[in-house]
Amino acid sequence: MITWLAGKTHCYTDLAGIQRLEIEHETFTGKLLLQCGFQIFEHIEGLYPEGPKGRYNPLKSNYERFLNEVGYSGQNPWNDWANSAEGENGEVLGG
């Protein structure tokens, strides 16, 4: 069975287990384990936040492009429209 990831998930790779079992990272099984068992179609963590030097990931996800195409403006439409609220002074309050 193949399990595809198309979107968001939170998983942590068991690097100690992979090393203990001596599974090479470059093998099919190794790559699959590094991806928590998923074949990756698109993996996003909901939004790509910004730090002091700008966005951590400069590329837009397909989901961000889709939101822009259907009318949600901005560099990070998920954060600006779906995962936040507007404060009393117009500031963005994260969700």
pLDDT in tens, 7-35: 777 778 899 999 999 999 999 999 999 98
In a domain, 39, yes or no: yes
Q: Is the pLDDT of residue 50 over 90?
A: no
In a domain, 93, yes or no: no
Q: Is the pLDDT of residue 48 over 80?
A: no
In a domain, 13, yes or no: yes
Binned at pLDDT 50, 70 and 90, residue 61 comes out as: confident
Residue range of the domain that includes 65: 4-46+59-85
Q: Tell me the residue ranges of DSSP E strands in the chain.
A: 4-7, 39-43, 50-51, 54-55, 84-86, 92-94
Total number of domains constituting the chain: 1
34: three-class secondary structure by DSSP: helix
In a domain, 91, yes or no: no
pLDDT at 45: 62
